[in-house]
Amino acid sequence: MKENGSIEFIRKYPSPNPKIELYEIGYWSQGFLVKGLLAKPLADGDYNALLYLRGGLQFVGAVRPSRIAQFASQGFIVFAPYYRGNRGGQGRDEFAGNDRFDAIYGADVLKQFCKKEKIHVYGFSRGGLMALWTTILRDDIHSVVVWAGVSNVSSMYIERVDMRRTLKRIIGGSPTKVKELYDERTPLYQISKIQAPLLIIHGFNDCNVSIEQAYYLENALKRESKDYETWYYPSLAHHYPPNENRKTVRALCEWMKSKGTY
């Protein structure tokens, strides 16, 4: 079996931004060859490292080159795993089951391009689960941003009637029948292991991931006396309008940088 986080191939990928170069990377995670997209500024510089963890499932919420380049243009080297079973990668997307290790070992891929002691982690929607697990299971995370993130998988099943059939297929049943499998995917029970400062971003009008998911996370962090901050937006939903989106990306990138450079 190939070493976790080892790179199998690197190939140039078309970039939407002339100041950012993109590469598609194949790497190994628990014996599966999975893929991801790396973005880095063309100009020389001492850039921070950012692990970008996408939302959605399979083609929904797939990694977009323009989005990864947007974050890189804020002064980061960014790596965004596709997760196993996506875009020709081996294995099966498990919605924060063993595929969480694709994020965890994605951090090792990122470190090969940005020689930093610690890295920053960003997770959107389902990526919130992946970001939290990465932070729980690694000790080299410098800061974490969870934007419209899922934190409780059982509650996600209850909230999203349209996703119940998919979740039952992927996880193996409903929370009433296989509660332990939902709990295994829910990071709230291991929040005590998080050491990095965490920023929660969420819109009150989010119909994809309810604001309750942010409250679950905030309350768990509060109980454990963790370092966290919340940015709640009363009038915004899951996807922000372009201007608000750009402003929020700039602000969260500055928040990560304010935590120091390593």
Q: Residue 39 is encoded by which pair of tokens?
A: 């973005």
Of 15, 29, 125, 151, catalytic: 125
Question: Read out DSSP for 53-80?
Answer: E--SBTTBT---HHHHHHHHTTTEEEEE
Q: 202 an active-site residue?
A: no
**Three-state DSSP state, 228:** strand
* Inter-residue contact 252 to 199 (CB < 8 Å): yes
Q: Has 238 been annotated as catalytic?
A: yes
Q: Alpha-carbon distance 141 to 231, whole Å?
A: 21
Identify the bridge partners of residue 53 per DSSP, sorted by sequence position.
Answer: 123
Q: Collect all residues with Cβ–Cβ distance below 8 Å to 95 and sequence separation of at least 6.
A: 57, 126, 129, 153, 167, 170, 171, 185
Phi, psi (degrees; rounded to nearest 5) at 52: -100, 120
Q: How far is CA 238 from CA 86, 153, 213, 229, in A?
A: 23, 17, 12, 19
Q: Which of 73, 154, 174, 238 is catalytic?
A: 238
Other beta carbons within 10 Å of 207: 10
Q: What is the largest CA-CA distance in the chain?
A: 54
Q: Catalytic residue numbers?
A: 125, 238
